[in-house]
Amino acid sequence: MSIIEKLRAREARTAVIGLGYVGLPLAVELAQAGYEVVGIDVIAEKVDRVNAGDSYIKDVTSEALREVVSSGRLKATTDFSVLASCDTVDICVPTPLRKTRDPDISYIVASVEEIAKYVHPGMLVVLESTTYPGTTEEVILPMLARDDFRVGEHFFLAFSPERVDPGNPRFNTKNIPKVVGGVTPRCTEVAAALYSGALSTIVPVSSAKVAETVKLLENTFRSVNIGMVNEIALMCNKMDIDVWEVIRAAATKPFGFMPFYPGPGLGGHCIPIDPFYLSWKAKLAGFEARFIELAGQINGSMPEYVVARVAEALNRHRKAVNGSRVLVVGISYKANIDDIRESPALDVMRLLVRSGAQVVYHDDVADRRDHELQHLEAKPVDLSPQTLATCDCAVIVTGHDGVDYKALLDGVPVLVDTRNVFAGVQSDKIVRL
């Protein structure tokens, strides 16, 4: 039986490497579609929680996880040798940037090194981790192929970009269209067969490089437009114009305009990072991606601008940042999710500490176990009247639902609102972005 026949009959055994925000939802979707799935992760705690049906990802309910685990369709392990009996494997591991803004694909390479030990005829390997164009063909392919073991004939290799939007109630792994690009046309066909058995819409493209670039274009589009509107916000502040009102009115145009909103900086694993994968690769080809670099500079400078606004707010009360107690409200990178990776709140807090402020924070949603948070000189607090009375200034960096913002405004002398939480509220206490 061919790999495509096995996939269509749900007789293929699938594997997912990396059980994080991308990998675990994918593993559950594949299992719910009837595939036998094995999830692989190097973190034993994640493996144990998956096998116990205890979800640590907001977009996957423990109920859904328990159902596929108890049915035997999903199990997790730290042992890569299970790949020897798998027909397909998806790589869903992190791809951070180094401090030099060079791509760090070490997690991909480590995963492929393990796959290479167990790759066998008929196996499909799909990379989902965001990376620069050419990674699939230039890095992964040479690690798996041999003269007597050819891609598109003996094994299949493709790239399919993850498009996860954590916390989005409308779009999820199942219904977000799935772009698939293989190293050969046959590779594309096999990878499309895997995903079409579990996901709603498959979008085949002509090559892995095209699929890799699709993901980078999507997030570069957002980065550049956010950078532009952040610059507009800086400009409006200089001219004493309400940027939020400007955007609100511009958004009434029914064509030719898409609203983007300013903020304290970019966060998450994708938008602050992915554009630099593209600009790095462009430099190797002798092309300077000026829009990408400029947007990165503007977005990267926003935490400093927020701290400058905090200083202005404190000045109204004849206080300096140095020695003031500043409350940061919301530290995850996005409202109503627990992920603080690349969150601008971390930079805002570091800059405030460096300026001599006594920094405290409130966030009942964010994962406080994150190692970056452990190294910050900031402590979590509640939003009781007693706590607020001790603060000289509050700054809203992430606007989670469930926060009593009226009590926050009433309880502090002055407040910096970087997310327009207090849209339409007139108060001398509020300093807007």
| Cross-strand pairs, 126 | 90, 158
Q: What pLDDT does residue 315 have? A: 94
Mean pLDDT across 287-307: 93
The answer to whether residue 363 sits within a structural domain is yes
132 and 182, same domain (yes or no): yes
Q: What pLDDT does residue 155 have? A: 97
152 and 30, same domain (yes or no): yes
Mean pLDDT across 84-92: 97
The answer to whether residue 216 sits within a structural domain is no
* Structural domain for 421, as ranges: 226-432
Pairing relation of β-strands 88-91 and 124-127? parallel
The two three-digit tokens of residue 14, written as one number: 């699938």
3-class DSSP string for 283-301? HHCCCCCHHHHHHHHHHHH
How many other C-beta atoms lie within 10 A of the C-beta of residue 175?
11
pLDDT at 268 over 80: no
Quote the Cα angle for 26-11-47, to 5°. Answer: 40
158 and 303, same domain (yes or no): no
Mean pLDDT across 60-76: 97
166 and 266, same domain (yes or no): no
Q: Cα(first)–Cα(last) distance of the chain, in Å? A: 61
Query: pTM for this structure?
Result: 0.90
120 and 262, same domain (yes or no): no
Give the chain's mean pLDDT: 94
pLDDT digits (tens, 9 = 90+) for 329-367: 999 999 998 888 889 999 999 999 999 999 999 999 887
- Contact criterion met (CB below 8 Å) for 338 and 168: no
Mean pLDDT across 94-122: 91
Pairing relation of β-strands 156-159 and 178-182? antiparallel
pLDDT at 168 over 90: no
The two three-digit tokens of residue 41, written as one number: 């992760």
151 and 30, same domain (yes or no): yes
pLDDT at 100 over 80: no
Q: What pLDDT does residue 80 have? A: 98
Half-sphere exposure of 299 (CA within 13 A, CB side): 27
The two three-digit tokens of residue 61, written as one number: 């309910």
The answer to whether residue 220 sits within a structural domain is no
d(CA 86, CA 76): 13
Q: Which amino acid is at 94?
A: P
Q: What pLDDT does residue 151 have? A: 97
- CATH classification at residue 401: 3.40.50.720
From the centroid of its chain, how far is CA 85? Answer: 31
d(CA 189, CA 203): 11
14 and 134, same domain (yes or no): yes
The answer to whether residue 214 sits within a structural domain is no
Specify the 3-state DSSP secondary structure of 410: helix
Q: What pLDDT does residue 9 have? A: 93
The answer to whether residue 65 sits within a structural domain is yes
Mean pLDDT across 75-98: 95
**DSSP string spanning 330-380?**
--SSSTT----TT-HHHHHHHHHHHTT-EEEEE-SSS-TT-HHHHTSSEEE
Strands of 393-396's sheet, edge to edge? 378-380, 358-362, 325-329, 393-396, 415-417, 430-432
The sign of the torsion formed by the CA atoms of 92, 165, 181, 271 equals: negative
- Helix (H) or strand (E) run with residue 269 in it: none
pLDDT at 166 over 90: no
Of 173, 205, 237, the position where a domain reaches its end is 205
d(CA 143, CA 138): 9
- Contact criterion met (CB below 8 Å) for 115 and 125: yes
230 and 276, same domain (yes or no): yes
Residue bearing tokens 């090194």: 113
Q: Which amino acid is at 293?
A: E
- Contact criterion met (CB below 8 Å) for 62 and 30: no
Q: What pLDDT does residue 103 have? A: 85
Residue bearing tokens 């589009």: 221
- Contact criterion met (CB below 8 Å) for 275 and 295: yes
pLDDT at 426 over 80: yes
186 class by beta-carbon count within 10 Å (0-12 exposed, 13-18 middle, 19+ buried): middle
Half-sphere exposure of 273 (CA within 13 A, CB side): 21
d(CA 232, CA 246): 10
From the centroid of its chain, how far is CA 89? Answer: 22
Q: Which amino acid is at 195?
A: Y
The answer to whether residue 116 sits within a structural domain is yes
pLDDT digits (tens, 9 = 90+) for 176-234: 999 999 999 999 999 999 999 999 999 999 999 999 999 999 999 999 999 999 999 99
Q: What are phi and psi of 237, to 5 degrees?
A: -60, -40
Q: What pLDDT does residue 368 have? A: 74
d(CA 29, CA 64): 10
Which residues are the active-site residues? 270
Determine what percent of the chain is predicted with pLDDT higher than 70: 99
Count of structural domains within the chain = 2
The answer to whether residue 215 sits within a structural domain is no
Mean pLDDT across 82-104: 89
168 and 291, same domain (yes or no): no
The answer to whether residue 171 sits within a structural domain is yes
pLDDT digits (tens, 9 = 90+) for 364-421: 988 777 767 777 888 999 999 999 999 999 999 999 999 999 999 999 999 999 999 9
d(CA 126, CA 188): 10
For the ranges 156-170, 267-281, 383-397, the maximum mean pLDDT occurs at 383-397
200 and 302, same domain (yes or no): no
Q: Considering only CA atoms, which of 298, 379, 297, 295 is closest in space to residue 331?
A: 379
d(CA 135, CA 281): 10
Q: What pLDDT does residue 366 have? A: 86
Q: What pLDDT does residue 1 have? A: 79
- Contact criterion met (CB below 8 Å) for 227 and 261: no
pLDDT at 163 over 80: yes
Of 171, 205, 239, the position where a domain reaches its end is 205
